[in-house]
Amino acid sequence: MFGPFLTLLGLDDPSKTQPRPTPPTAATKTAEEQSQESDLKRKQIQQLSAYLNSPKVRGGGGARKRLVESVRQVSEVVIWSDRRNPELLSVCIEMGLHQHMLTLLQSRGKQQRWSPSDNAVTVQVLQTFSIILDSVSDTKFLYALLSNNFVNQLIAAPVDMDNEEVVSYYVAFLKALSLKLTADTIHFFCNERMDDFPLYTTAISLFDHPDSMVRVAVRAITLNVFRINDPQALDFVLHSPKCASFWEQIVCALKDSYDDAFRILVDMLPSRQHGSSAVATSQIDRARMSAAQGWAAIDQ
């Protein structure tokens, strides 16, 4: 019944069935095709730069959907350039895509209140920078991204810290930055003029955040800082007044944990009517008093 129809389609004989062609990859494309694709990406970079740098967008306006999509495309074109045509990475820097995204954050921070649209753009900008930091391997591009105090301006950009989603993306961004800390890059993160280490001081300000995931990320960031073992950074961390409150919080947290451990031990003991338990409890009480005196000396 379907014989003639199958014959027309070339499906009556399995030998006539042609496999579906696979899309060409960078390795299979001709030099001309690769050049055309690079030209398209170059135009895309220029278009993204023109839109993100338009007066309306720089002033805090712009349609939310288009803004979010444009920022998302920045990560795509940067990663494509890193893997297919690294020369376009310099075009991204020259066109100021990173600067335009920083301006997006700064312009929205000038608003009297954070709107859902502002937070959506903020989340996308933070996510885009995190993706770029995690995915791009070109050292020159990363150095250009971190230099000229740009990274510290980005860390200091205002975000809605009362919004849980924004905070989670912001901390993830800080953690991605901390993974780029090396002996060769740490000078990008130190603001000598302001005598500040913004990545570290911003992270420790969230040390006691109610969200456990944020606290875990903060600990990872601080450990990444100590991992570098840079004398200048360690001197700031250990002796700067800006870090003093962090160490006080550490001491208080240890003190609370110490007290909690004593309470658990006391609760686990049998009734005090038995002589042995009474002696043990008395010893624990004396130890607690001694520890309390020690903590008081530290607090002073």
Q: What is the pLDDT of residue 296?
A: 52
What pLDDT digit, counting tens, does each position of 71-113 carry? 999 999 999 999 999 999 999 999 999 999 999 999 887 776 8
- What is the C-alpha to C-alpha distance for residues 128 and 297, in angstroms, rounded to an integer? 48
Q: What is the pLDDT of residue 286?
A: 62
Structure tokens that stand for 100 in this block: 């335009």
Residue 125 confidence class, pLDDT cut points 50, 70, 90:
very high
Q: What is the pLDDT of residues 20-66, one digit of tens each?
A: 555 555 556 788 888 999 999 999 999 999 999 998 888 777 788 99
Could you give the CA distance from residue 3 to residue 9 in angstroms, rounded to a whole number? 10
Percent of the chain whose predicted confidence (pLDDT) is above 90: 54
Which pair of tokens denotes residue 115? 């709107």
User: Residue 251: its pLDDT value, please?
Assistant: 73
User: CA nearest 67: which of 120, 13, 15?
Assistant: 120
Q: Is the pLDDT of residue 185 over 80?
A: yes
Section 5-28 average pLDDT: 51
pLDDT of residue 248 exceeding 80: no
User: Do 191 and 197 touch, CB atoms closer than 8 A?
Assistant: yes
Element of type H or E holding 278 = helix 275-299
State the pLDDT confidence band at 283, using cuts at 50, 70 and 90: low
Choice between 297 and 77, residue whose per-residue pLDDT is larger: 77
Query: pLDDT at position 6, please?
Result: 44
- Residue that is written with structure tokens 């600067």 in the block: 99
* pLDDT band at residue 273 using 50, 70 and 90 as cut-offs: very low
Q: The pTM is what?
A: 0.76
Instruction: Look over the chain and give the mean of its residue pLDDT values, rounded to a whole number.
Output: 83
With a cut of 70, say whether residue 281 has pLDDT above it.
no
Q: Report the alpha-carbon distance of residue 300 to residue 296 in Å, rounded.
A: 6
Question: What integer pLDDT is reported at residue 26 of this predicted model?
Answer: 58
Quote the crossing angle between the two packed helices 116-135 and 64-84, to the nearest 10°: 0
